[in-house]
Amino acid sequence: MTVTDFTVRAADGREVPLSDYAGRVLLIVNTASKCGFTPQYEGLEALHRRFGDRGFEVLAFPCNQFGAQEPGDAAEIAQFCSLTYDVTFPVFAKVDVNGDAAAPLFQHLKKTQKGVLGTEAIKWNFTKFLVNRTGEVVERYAPTTKPDDIADDIERLL
């Protein structure tokens, strides 16, 4: 199973097959609007603009499981991302990334690329997963990893 086998929910509620992104390098991130790492939206957008025309896409999934740092609804989140960080990459519907209600995509990401000491659980907002053109999860990055620090890894996959 690869990332492109999953279907996710767009911010407007419609189902989006990730097969729509087949053949692209993806950076999948759980995000939040009121987090200390929220300024990473700026770096994520910079990556999106730098590599987008070469087959790269950032996919953001807001999550309210860490310190209730994403309390808004889809419209509020979209407005925040657009007005504050001029985000042009897709921001999907809010998801759970841990627990029994974790989105199937994130269950797959965590199982495929474990965290520190082999843990699966996502520790905080802005955990990032890098996916190659064939839909395989090739790397997991901690929330503290700045988007710019991932640029060389993206470049290699492109």
Cα-based angle 31, 2, 134 (whole degrees, multiple of 5): 100
CA distance 64 to 19: 26
Which residue spans within the chain are E strands per DSSP? Answer: 7-9, 15-17, 25-31, 56-62, 128-131, 137-141
Q: What are the residue ranges spanned by the domains of the chain? A: 3-157
pLDDT of residue 132: 98
User: Per the residue annotation, which of 11, 35, 77, 130 is the catalytic one?
Assistant: 35
What token pair was written down for 75? 């419209």
Whether residue 63 lies in the annotated active site:
no
DSSP 8-class letter at 54: G
| Structure confidence at residue 118 as a pLDDT band (50, 70, 90) | confident
Predicted pLDDT of residue 149 = 97
- pLDDT bin (cut points 50, 70, 90) of residue 12 is very high
Mean pLDDT lowest among 19-23, 75-79, 136-140, 152-156: 75-79
The fold for domain 3-157 equals Glutaredoxin (3.40.30)
Is pTM beyond 0.85? Reply is: yes
- Predicted pLDDT of residue 78: 87
Least confident of 3-17, 105-119, 120-134: 105-119
Q: How far apart, in whole angstroms, are the C-alpha atoms of residue 21 and residue 76?
A: 25
Q: Which range scores top for mean pLDDT: 70-79, 82-91, 145-154?
A: 145-154
